[in-house]
Amino acid sequence: MSDTPRRPPLMPLDEALARLLDRAAALGRTEVVSTFDADGRVLAQDAVSALQVPPNDNSSMDGYAVRAADVPAAGTVLPVTQRIAAGHAGVPLVPGSAARIFTGAPMPAGADAVVMQEDTEALDGGAQVRITAVPTAGQWVRAAGEDVTRGAVILRCGERLSPASLGLAAGIGLAELQVAARPRVALFSTGDELVMPGAVPPEQMKPSAIYNSNRFFLRALLLRLGCEVNDLGIVPDDRAATVAALSAAAQDNDLILTSGGVSVGEEDHIKPAVEQLGTLDLWQIAMKPGKPFAYGSIASPSSRRDAPNVGTPPLPPRQAGGEPGRSTVCHFMGLPGNPVSSFVTFLLLVRPFLLKLQGATQTEVPALRLRADFDLSRPDRRREFLRARRNDRGGLDLFTNQSSGVLTSTHWADGLIDHPAGSTIVAGDLVRFIPLSELLA
């Protein structure tokens, strides 16, 4: 009698991603934060401008505001009839005169150009000015509303905020912004071989033990995505304890994330425990590194057991009531245990999932096409994500050891080459390169 597992068909990465995103209904919980503290968060309502920026025509230089027609030739001398600093309104310009003006100050009515002060000479202690360059109408004048027009949507619901977004929001007077609440993610560790750094010094490590590295980069990646991380430590190696721990975690978290222990044929307690509490699918994804991947869900006590909240409409513009909404399901994701596989599957699958949970409209990272400065002669039946780095010549170098156990490759690299299954690379070929700076943002 044979109990051999069959070799499962591989699932294309795009299909795995589509299935995950399909399950990643926006959590719908929002909160209001100071614009100062909103960097990296996902906006939960459109930001509409109630004013125009700048509010009026103003000078983009320190100099003199004039009517261009009053300066027909270089050397023209005009009386200086007023002085306008930023933040102060002038009076209408007396025809045939100039107004001393500073950067950002509103143009006086009747003036249509600014002469920068380097093109002037102040005379009589500033009572008059000689203009040494003939101005053209409109020069060094910033038009009212050239940055933002009244009623314009300057930031869209679902945008991930950056420093520039915060500046824009502040510029239209928004001191606070409504953003998606932080997803709550529980981080589980499994694996008898794992030891926490600090628990045992290197020289006393058992030969079969290794330090837990995945938990460190996974936590950092989660924090970069705006998540609140609940580190649940090592789950006791016992079925009932595992069920209890998962069940408790499912009440307080939107996602339980683990690495290791979910390959085909591995015996551990996470898999049956998740299945007892909800559902679990083991996928074999056609990607390298990162074949085994588990997705499941555990119903929250307050909700139906059988239905994940898929198909919910996107994050509403504003949630009724002050009490944040609760998701009806806690998602479960099991990453492969090999560090590089864990790192890469996080970036390509978990990252977009967590952004979508926050209602982000942009979950994909655009690839560049760059020149490979190496050969890759062995095709693989899986789509590969090769650790590579840009060199001084604008091409890409490949890390020498692409083993999924070599975490050094992810540290050395500044991007991943998205390399199609069954193909080779000859130096000079253009390849798809996904910068880590974008994936880590």
Rule CB under 8 A: which of 141-170 touch a second copy? 142, 146-148, 154-155, 162-170
Q: Is 207 in the site for a second copy (CB under 8 A)?
A: yes
**Closest CB to a second copy among 112 and 300?**
112
Q: Give min distance, CB of 406 to a second copy, in A.
A: 5
Spatial CA neighbour of 182 closest among 373, 60, 41, 81: 41
Q: What is d(CA 184, CA 230) in angstroms, rounded to the nearest whole number?
A: 7
Given 81, 82, 117, 363, the residue binding a second copy (CB under 8 A): 117
Q: Which two tokens stand for residue 293?
A: 């991947």
Q: Which two tokens stand for residue 333?
A: 């994701």
Given 123, 133, 234, 244, the residue binding a second copy (CB under 8 A): 123
Sign of the CA dihedral running 245, 251, 257, 262: positive
Question: Which of the stretches 12-20, 72-80, 84-92, 310-318 binds a second copy when contact is defined by CB under 8 A?
Answer: 84-92
Given 357, 404, 417, 425, the residue binding a second copy (CB under 8 A): 404
Q: Give min distance, CB of 296 to a second copy, in A.
A: 20
Question: Which of the stretches 69-77, 204-212, 306-314, 375-383 binds a second copy when contact is defined by CB under 8 A?
Answer: 204-212
Q: How far is CA 100 from CA 85, 114, 194, in A?
A: 8, 9, 72
Residues numbered 340-369 forming contacts with a second copy, rule: CB under 8 A:
343, 366, 368-369
Per-residue binding string, a second copy, 211-250, x by CB under 8 A, is xxxxxxxxxxx-xx--------------------------
Q: Is 337 in the site for a second copy (CB under 8 A)?
A: yes
Residues numbered 270-329 forming contacts with a second copy, rule: CB under 8 A:
none
Q: How far is CA 278 from CA 12, 242, 250, 274, in A?
A: 25, 14, 10, 6
CA max distance for the chain: 109
Q: Is 125 in the site for a second copy (CB under 8 A)?
A: yes
Q: What is d(CA 403, CA 418) in angstroms, rounded to the nearest whole number?
A: 16
At residue 212, φ and ψ (nearest 5 deg) are -75, 110
Q: What is d(CA 145, CA 147) in angstroms, rounded to the nearest whole number?
A: 5
Question: Which of the stretches 272-280, 298-306, 338-346, 378-386 binds a second copy when contact is defined by CB under 8 A?
Answer: 338-346
Q: Is 54 in the site for a second copy (CB under 8 A)?
A: yes
At residue 218, φ and ψ (nearest 5 deg) are -65, -40
**In sequence order, what are the beta bridge partners of 385?**
418
Residues numbered 174-203 forming contacts with a second copy, rule: CB under 8 A:
174-176, 191-194, 196-198, 200-203
Given 127, 411, 423, 424, the residue binding a second copy (CB under 8 A): 411
At residue 25, φ and ψ (nearest 5 deg) are -65, 140
